Amino acid sequence: MEWIKQVLSQNALWSLLLCIFIQFISCNTDDLPQRARNLMESSPLIDGHNDLALQLRRIYKNRLSKINLRTINTTRTNLQKLKTGHVGAQFWSAYVMCSAQDKDAVRLALEQIDVIKRMCEDYEELEFVTSSLGIEITKKIGCLIGLEGGHIIDSSLAALRMFYELGARYMTLTHTCNTPWAETSSDDLHKFYQGRKSLTDFGTEVIREMNRIGMIIDLSHTSSNTSREVLAISKAPVIFSHSAVFALCGIKRNIPDDVLLSIKKNGGLVMVNFHTEFIACRKTANISTLADHFDYIKKLAGPGSIGIGGDYDGVTGFPEGLEDVSKYPLLIQELLRRGWQDEEIRGVLRDNFLRVFRDVESIRDQQLNLRPSEKEIPEDELSYTCRLDLQNFQQRSAKASGIQEISISAFTLITYMLSCIFIFW
């Protein structure tokens, strides 16, 4: 044993051991970017919310011919950055500002869908998809549409169904305003339909119809009470397409613990928002601040309840290091550093969303025998007058057709009499 002590006491051996230790530490750290890249290459991200289309309207009036989406740098999103960020599918938000409620929200939404579809047709890197299978089999970046703001359907289930026909696959029930049938989390920003609490009866019918047609219910922006009520009645899993955790940043726009637990029970998903004012309640934050939200949801609701909804181009403040859509791998690196398992991260990147989407499609397929709902919102629950008064219109039409019938009968009688006179003549 004496000779071992002698050897160990030699400086050279200590130096060698130190070198091996440093090598081990640095190898493991250096490995993280590669591990993150490998994971994202085999499981490209499905992101729940991007507002590029809003910027296209705001800056370019939707004139796609004037810009090159591969290299555009007035936005946080372009095609090159999406590739670098390993984005495999993107929900593009067809967002309509609340001030258009009860005015031309339907037209504005149609125009946003139009610009998204044109964008996805114009660039060979993109492909418009409308199903879970579509996302899985495309070799391009899958383009999906999310409607942001229930005011877009103008309280019409027929309009909801037609937006689905156009390819929209989720609808955020409210934006920052109440609709006639659902309560927002930001009811102090607009004066629409004040006093709405959670869902009305018509709101419940909207949920049933969304379940029936296979439109994913998005609870981001809704009040906690709306979320609770929807979670209690929805047959299908629901999502928060771009939200964060209330316990870590206590604003009404974020999700409280009891709702996170209900999401777990519902089989739904929280796609975490990156906006600094939602994750840190201030203008600055770093990647670690954001990763805390992932850790929190994982601990409370499990890794199967988490996804990513960056909200790029919808808000201004992003964590240091995550300034645009090319930076997603840095977040994945941070989760790996915190000990997240590969399978958990694959879930966050895409598998959890695909599970939810498949479940929503399967609930739709189980209800094929149900007829489309013909329920209408009661007139007295709407507070505007620019709709055509269909009741008067119908009465007027009935009156007009009555007059027409009388005049047709008179004409027939006169013709008959004249023909009789002519024959007897």
Active-site residue numbers? 49, 51, 148, 175, 221, 242, 311
β-bridge pairing 141-148 and 168-172 = parallel
Distance CA 236, CA 281 (A): 32
Residue 134, exposed/middle/buried by CB under 10 A (0-12, 13-18, 19+)?
middle
Place of tokens 């006639």: 180
The position carrying tokens 């709306």 is: 226
Total H helices, total E strands in the chain: 16, 9
Picking from 58, 52, 44, 112, the residue whose alpha carbon sits closest to that of residue 76 is 52
- What Cα–Cα distance (Å) separates residue 11 from each residue in 5, 8, 17, 142? 12, 8, 10, 59
Helices (H), 62-191: 79-84, 105-122, 132-137, 157-165
Report the C-alpha gap between 218 and 166 in whole angstroms. Answer: 18
Cβ–Cβ under 8 Å, residues 31 and 128: no
Which of 253, 96, 98, 102 has the alpha carbon at shortest distance from 190?
A: 98
- How many Cβ atoms sit within 10 Å of the Cβ of residue 381? 15
What's the rounded Cα separation, in Å, for the pair 332 and 336?
6
**Distance (Å, rounded) from C-alpha 241 to C-alpha 246?**
15
CA distances for 14 relative to 4, 195, 335, 424, angstroms: 13, 73, 34, 134
Evaluate whether 123 touches 69 at the Cβ level (below 8 Å): yes
The H or E element that residue 272 is part of is: strand 269-272
199 contacts 229 by C-beta, under 8 angstroms: yes
Q: Which is it for strands 306-308 and 269-272: parallel, antiparallel or unpaired?
A: parallel
C-alpha closest to that of 307 among 242, 218, 248? 242
| CA Rg value for the chain | 28
